Chain A
Amino acid sequence: MSESQERQDHPEPERTTPSRRALLGWGGAGLAIGAAAAGGTAVALAGDGDPAAQPVAEAGAAVPFHGAHQAGIATAVQDRLHFAAFDVTTDDREALISLLKEWTRAAERMTQGHPVGEGAVGGLAEAPPDDTGEALGLKPSRLTLTIGFGPTLFADRKGKDRFDLKKRRPEALGDLPAFPGDNLDPARSGGDLCVQACADDPQVAVHAIRNLARIGMGKVAIRWSQLGFGKTSSTTPEAQTPRNMMGFKDGTRNIAGTDDAALTRHVWVSPKDGPDWMAGGSYLVARRIRMHIETWDRTSLKEQEDIFGRDKAEGAPVGRRRERDEPNLKAMLPDAHVRLAHPDVNGGATILRRGYSFTDGTDGLGRLDAGLFFLAYQRDVRSGFIPVQTSLARSDALNEYIQHVGSALFAVPPGVRDADDWWGRALFS
């Protein structure tokens, strides 16, 4: 059952739809009208945290950009991803600030389905257009743009304070430890900034990153990027849990985007956790996990199921019948993936996962260069990703079939409040 079908089964009768006239006034003229009229704006006007505020996927709706938290974390996971990590190439603090403001304005427009600046057509014939144009005529497609700041923005590898930010670096934004079995490629790791673009249409996500990269030229340069498809974790528990490239359901127990209590406990940084500028933000771990697809595919079904600790058809934990039945960890092999990843064996560590599958062609040896682009949000990586990954890296039976080849950590600041606010204002003020 798809998410949309699910929603039709449980209609929200109290949801109000503004009149088309109201939409025109709100959305202005242009391409966004179609999408807005189709339902996006209805949810834009709904309250923060309201389950009814989940935009409707099939309508290509727009996700509100402004809010206490950045969209793209608790937001129902979209189908596609374009993630980009940037190096800041300027050493001018003011230039960086003006870029972040410019990016915020562009992100506001693109997430609402508008082109950047004066648009892709109709400008001066002699000049390149402000917008690259490949999203013309496409709906907002629930595009979310989420920014993060990497450790190297605060101090470079030699400890140099690049932008007078060193003293504002959160303790939680240290380097991740070296986990056993990691084979990290520096060209796919780190970054001073990141932008996660999620959308139901890959062209919309790629368009957003492309325009931000172009706006940023001379101040930032893309260090690495990753395209993703087929969300591998759901933040909407009523929908079927998607499968990863190994054919297994993944993220059954993920934190729901609607579970405010769990989000507050495990995902959002509290004012008492660390620097004030991070309150309402989160920490993002990005890992490129290559899967040895060919060897996995010649592994027996029993071994595959033993490795995960779930059955392949239903996704039920060992000895249980339904996917969402409480797992009996002791019934699983000691090195089963689910057993080692479970909060109960990791001191309650819980993360919000938003990963995507990736396939970047083949690797030159004829092997599929595919796997999981793992994205995890948590209140503190020291009590989130690090204990879980330490336990997995040490013993997980799945390690024979996967390898972590890229890694990055970012502090994701709170949301942009309104049209005067911008990404990172609290950090730079």
Chain B
Amino acid sequence: MRAVRSSAVTALAAAAALTAVAGCSEKSDAKGSGAIQVKASDDACEVSKTSFPAGHVALAVENKGSKVTEVYIYAPGDRIVTERENIGPGTKTTITAEVKAGSYEIACKPGMKGDGIRQKVTVTGKGTPVKRDPRLDEAVAAYRAYVQKQADETLPLVEKFAAAIEDGDVEAAKKAYAPSRVGWERTEPVAESFGDIDPKVDLREDGVEKGAKWTGWHRLEKSLWVEKKITAEDRKLAKQLITDLEDWQKRVGKAELTPTSMANGAKELLDEVQTGKVTGEEERYSHTDLVDIQANVEGAETSYSLLRKVAGENDPELVEELDKQFAAVKKHLDGYREGDGFVAYDDKISKAKRKQLSDTVNALAEPLSKLAAAVVKPAE
């Protein structure tokens, strides 16, 4: 993680956090007559109003079907504004949220699976956002799905890492360490946007404030590689890591994502490489920085590839350059492959080699900083 978080994502995160908090705090007066009636069945999702004013919104949900269902309000790009799981057949519940003006979808998911049965709704009021290229909304939705998948696939890998620690098996834990971080490293700017999870799981020793407790991956990294033994405290920390990452897994769907935050997130992933990893600071004990770097680049490329079509229409030269530089960075990293992983990023990697890697990453990060502008150009 970086000590100073990027402004754009953080500002958006603050807004998202407010919405999230409001979404969770169900008020007793929400069951008033103003509530929007949602009748969920096994094959329908009927909404009593498709247009309502911004502000405090209440959905009075009735599950008339035979399956357990869940109901979501999605903002563009499939951001979850609020959701309620486990609504049993024949039961009623009320879901509330503070909703800003704009276009949304209400979804019922019979059987709690898939994209659900969706109904477009319009929330009216001041500050209705300018209509966005629907391809960008698709890109955001696809990226959100990617972020969720990374979280979902990370948990079992972290559990494997934690199990090795529970067993006191230093070697197995060392082996499981770097793979358990890949999904996180691919999507780190999204996780950082929550503000509170990142310091719990990914803080380095020098980032710990005096008097605060150091938890997370890097604390365990130090135990494994420097202290070379597993203590009772480490076992607790490993369990805590799972809990914190489960929190991440639950919340990624609510992250405020926009086409520009995706584009700048891609650049931030490369900033992560440039400021903390190319120097070997991030994985100072395990020297697995190259695994992280590969994951950072993969995450950046995923964002980019989803935005590439729209960006290419506005700035074809930029896309040509980015294609070239992504290829160059991947080729450079391939030079460090060993077995199914990477060589250790330790003293054997000379200063000159580190500079080459840094130059190669700079060559990509600099044009990548122009991606956001290429994506938003039509809105001018």
Contacts and interface: CB of A to CB of B under 8 A. Distances in A.
A196 to B, nearest CB: 22
B366 A217 contact: yes
A89 B363 contact: yes
A217 B376 contact: no
Interface stretch (A15-23, A103-111, A120-128): A120-128
A221 interface: yes
Nearest to A90: B363
Nearest to B363: A218
Q: Interface SS of chain B: helix, strand, loop or mixed?
A: helix
A394 interface: no
B17 interface: no
B369 A221 contact: no
A217 B376 CA distance: 24
B359 interface: yes
Nearest to B377: A124
Given A218-B362, A221-B359, A127 B367 contact: no
A160 interface: no
Residue among A126, A218, A219 having the largest count of chain B Cβ atoms under 10 Å: A126
B369 A128 contact: yes
B20 to A, nearest CB: 24
Contact of A127 (B363, B364, B369): B369
A43 B74 CA distance: 65
A218 B324 CA distance: 10
B95 to A, nearest CB: 33
B286 interface: no
A124 B264 CA distance: 14
Nearest to B371: A127
Contacts of A128: 369-370
Residue among A127, A214, A221 having the largest count of chain B Cβ atoms under 10 Å: A127
Interface residues of A, number: 12
A89 B363 CA distance: 9
B96 interface: no
A218 B363 CA distance: 4
Interface string B251-270: 00000000010011000000
A126 B366 contact: no
Given A89-B359, A218-B325, A221-B359, A124 B373 contact: yes
B366 A127 contact: no
B interface, size bucket: 20 to 34
A128 B377 CA distance: 14
Nearest to A87: B359
Given A89-B359, A126-B376, A218 B370 contact: no
Contact of B362 (A126, A187, A217): A217
Contacts of B375: 126
Contacts of A214: 366
Contacts of B373: 124, 126-127
Contacts of B362: 217-218, 221
Q: Interface SS of chain A: helix, strand, loop or mixed?
A: loop
Contacts of B351: 187
A127 B359 contact: no
Contact of A217 (B260, B264, B363): B363
A388 B127 CA distance: 74
Contacts of A127: 369-370, 372-373
B140 to A, nearest CB: 15
A87 B362 CA distance: 14
Contacts of B365: 217
Contact of A218 (B264, B364, B372, B377): B364
Nearest to A123: B373
Given A214-B366, A218-B366, A126 B359 contact: no
A251 B185 CA distance: 57
B167 interface: no
A320 to B, nearest CB: 50
B321 interface: yes
B317 to A, nearest CB: 11
A214 B359 CA distance: 11
A423 B365 CA distance: 26
Contacts of A217: 362-363, 365-366
A124 B366 contact: no
A219 B363 CA distance: 7
Interface in B339-371: 351, 355, 359-360, 362-367, 369-370
Interface string A79-99: 000000001010000000000
Contacts of A221: 355, 359, 362
B321 A218 contact: yes
A126 to B, nearest CB: 4
Contacts of B376: 124, 126
A277 B351 CA distance: 37
Interface in A117-169: 124, 126-128
B133 to A, nearest CB: 15
A217 B362 CA distance: 6
A217 B322 CA distance: 13
A221 B325 CA distance: 15
Contacts of A89: 359-360, 363
A219 B325 CA distance: 11
Nearest to A213: B362
Contacts of B366: 214, 217-218
A126 B325 contact: no
A22 B373 CA distance: 37
Contacts of A126: 260, 263-264, 372-373, 375-376
B158 to A, nearest CB: 34
A187 B260 CA distance: 39
A187 B355 CA distance: 11
B226 to A, nearest CB: 26
22 contacts: A87-B359, A89-B359, A89-B363, A124-B373, A124-B377, A126-B260, A126-B263, A127-B373, A128-B369, A128-B370, A214-B366, A217-B365, A217-B366, A218-B325, A218-B362, A218-B363, A218-B364, A218-B366, A219-B363, A221-B355, A221-B359, A221-B362
Among all A-B residue pairs, the 8 with the closest Cβ atoms: A218-B363, A127-B373, A221-B359, A217-B366, A126-B372, A124-B373, A217-B362, A126-B260
Given A124-B373, A124-B380, 16 more contacts: A89-B359, A124-B376, A126-B263, A126-B264, A126-B373, A126-B376, A127-B369, A128-B369, A187-B351, A214-B366, A217-B365, A218-B362, A218-B366, A218-B367, A219-B363, A221-B362
